[in-house]
Chain A
Amino acid sequence: MKAYLVKRALSLFITFLVVMSAIFFLARSGADPFAEFIESDPRIPPEAVERLRHRFGLDKPLWQQYLDFMVSMFQGEFGYSVTFRRPVFDVIMVRLPWTLMLLTTSIVISTIGAVFLGAYAAWNRGKKIDLIGTNISLFVRALPHFWLGMVFLLVFGYYYRLFPLYGVKTSGIEYANVFEQVKDLLWHLTLPLATLIIRQIGMYTLYMRGETLEVLGEDFITTAKAKGLSDRTVLFRHAVRTSLLPMVTVTALRFGFMVNGAILTETVFSLPGTGRLIYQAITSGDFFLLQGAFFITSITVLIANLVADILYSHLDPRVRY
Chain B
Amino acid sequence: MALKRRLTDWRNRLVSSAFIFRHNRAGVIGLVIVLFFISMAIFAPFIAPFNPYERIDRSLLPPGGVYLLGTNDMGQDIFSELIWGARVSLSIGFTVALVVMFIGTTVGVVAGYTGGLVDEVLMRFADIILVLPSIPLMILIAAIMGRHNFYVMILALSVVGWGGLARMVRAVTLSLKERTFVEAARALGASGGHIMAKHILPNTAPLILSSVIYQAVGAMMAEAGLAFLGLGDPTAKSWGMMLHYAQTAGGWWGANGNPMWNWIIPPGLCIALVVLGLMLVGQAVEEIVNPRLRRRR
Name A residues whose Cβ lies closer than 8 Å to a Cβ of B. 14-15, 18-19, 22-23, 26-27, 29-30, 138-139, 141-144, 146-148, 150-151, 154, 158, 165, 253, 256-260, 263-264, 267-268, 278-279, 282-283, 285, 290, 293-294, 297-298, 301-302, 305
Contact = CB atoms under 8 A, between A and B. Distances in A.
A258 B133 CA distance: 8
Contact of B276 (A14, A15, A142, A253): A142
A15 B139 contact: no
Most buried by B among A148, A298, A302: A298
A150 B247 contact: yes
Given A144-B224, A257-B133, A282 B139 contact: yes
Top 5 A-B pairs ranked by shortest CB distance?
A: A147-B268, A259-B133, A142-B276, A142-B275, A260-B135
B143 interface: yes
Nearest to B135: A260
Contact of A30 (B134, B143, B243, B268): B143
A320 B119 CA distance: 24
Most buried by B among A142, A144, A293, A301: A144
Contacts of B268: 143-144, 147-148, 150-151
B117 interface: no
Interface string B100-138: 000000000000000000000000100110111111100
Contacts of B246: 150
**Secondary structure of the B side of the interface?**
helix
A84 B20 CA distance: 60
Given A141-B279, A147-B272, A256-B131, A15 B136 contact: no
A158 B272 contact: no
Interface string B254-278: 0000110100110110011101100
Contact of B259 (A14, A27, A154, A305): A154
Contacts of A298: 131-132
A164 to B, nearest CB: 13
B131 A26 contact: no
A260 B229 contact: no
A37 B240 CA distance: 30
A166 B78 CA distance: 26
Contact of A264 (B131, B228, B272, B273): B228
A294 B140 CA distance: 11
24 contacts: A15-B124, A18-B128, A139-B276, A141-B279, A143-B268, A143-B272, A144-B221, A144-B225, A144-B228, A144-B275, A146-B224, A146-B243, A158-B252, A253-B130, A259-B135, A260-B135, A263-B136, A268-B247, A278-B136, A278-B139, A282-B143, A290-B140, A294-B136, A302-B131
B70 to A, nearest CB: 15
A141 B218 CA distance: 11
Interface string B237-251: 000100100110000
A14 B131 CA distance: 13
A267 B240 CA distance: 14
Interface residues of B, number: 38
Interface string B136-166: 1001100110000000000000000000000
Nearest to A259: B133
Contacts of A154: 259, 261, 264-265
Interface of B: 124, 127-128, 130-136, 139-140, 143-144, 221, 224-225, 228-229, 240, 243, 246-247, 252, 258-259, 261, 264-265, 267-268, 271-273, 275-276, 279-280
A306 B240 CA distance: 35
Nearest to A252: B131
Contact of A138 (B133, B271, B276): B276
Most buried by A among B127, B131, B275: B131
**Secondary structure of the A side of the interface?**
helix
A146 B143 contact: no
A26 B143 CA distance: 10
Contacts of A290: 140
Given A263-B135, A297-B136, 14 more contacts: A15-B131, A22-B128, A30-B143, A143-B268, A144-B225, A147-B224, A147-B267, A253-B130, A256-B132, A260-B135, A263-B136, A297-B133, A301-B131, A301-B132
Contacts of A256: 130-134
Contact of B243 (A14, A23, A150): A150
Contact of A15 (B128, B224, B259): B128
B180 to A, nearest CB: 30
Contacts of A27: 140
A292 to B, nearest CB: 13
Most buried by A among B143, B267, B271, B276: B143
A23 B127 CA distance: 16
Contacts of A165: 252
Contacts of B261: 154
A2 B240 CA distance: 47
Contacts of A26: 140, 144
Given A15-B128, A154-B259, A279-B229, A142 B135 contact: no
Nearest to B222: A260
A264 B246 CA distance: 15
A138 B134 CA distance: 22
Contacts of B280: 138
Contacts of A146: 224-225, 228, 243
A154 to B, nearest CB: 6
A294 B143 CA distance: 15
B264 A151 contact: yes
A127 B268 CA distance: 31
